[in-house]
């Protein structure tokens, strides 16, 4: 499973679709071909059937990210621009306009937050954000 990798790639600004486990290999390949998608997979046989694919060798998400980054480049302008849950681009919201929707401490510390209009999730530059930034720095990715 590459769900954790998918979320990290979204943090890095990549447009990532995560295949539902109920899909067959044929359905996954059809979607990749019709939508011109690059396939990341831990399935050697599936990888061998689609030239625009990367076989992910590790089960550890940190190693998976490193392997991905050995092939792809991160555009740092796109960091933190996608929802980690549903992949849609995030919008900036003034905290004064959404006081009831976010914790009070967030609206006191930040003037803006990021918001996903699809799933409703909010993101701000708190402790979790700082840990993510440190992790990315360890990979050579600086915001």
Mean pLDDT of the chain, nearest integer: 96
| Res 33 pLDDT > 90 | yes
What is the mean predicted confidence (pLDDT) over 124-135? 97
Instruction: State what percent of residues in the chain have pLDDT above 90.
Output: 96
Q: What is the pLDDT of residue 76?
A: 96
| Res 143 pLDDT > 80 | no
Residue ranges of domains in the chain: 1-73, 75-143
| Res 12 pLDDT > 90 | yes
pLDDT band at 29 (very low <50, low <70, confident <90, very high): very high
Please write the tens of the pLDDT for every residue from 40-84: 999 999 999 999 999 999 999 999 999 999 999 999 999 999 999
Q: What is the pLDDT of residue 132?
A: 97
Cβ partners under 8 Å of residue 3, min gap 6: 18
């Amino acid at each position: 499973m590459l769900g954790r990798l998918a979320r990290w790639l979204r943090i890095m600004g990549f447009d990532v679709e995560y295949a539902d486990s109920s899909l067959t290999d044929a359905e996954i390949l059809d979607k990749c071909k019709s939508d011109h998608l690059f396939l990341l997979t831990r399935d050697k046989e599936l990888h061998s059937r689609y030239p625009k694919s990367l076989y992910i060798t590790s089960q550890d998400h940190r190693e998976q990210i490193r392997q991905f980054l050995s092939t792809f480049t991160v555009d740092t302008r796109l960091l933190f621009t996608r929802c980690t849950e549903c992949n849609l681009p995030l919008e900036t919201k003034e905290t004064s306009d959404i006081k009831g929707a976010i914790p009070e401490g967030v609206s006191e510390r930040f003037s803006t937050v990021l918001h996903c209009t699809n799933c409703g999730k909010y993101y701000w530059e708190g402790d979790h954000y700082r840990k993510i930034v440190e992790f990315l720095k360890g990979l050579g990715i600086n915001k």
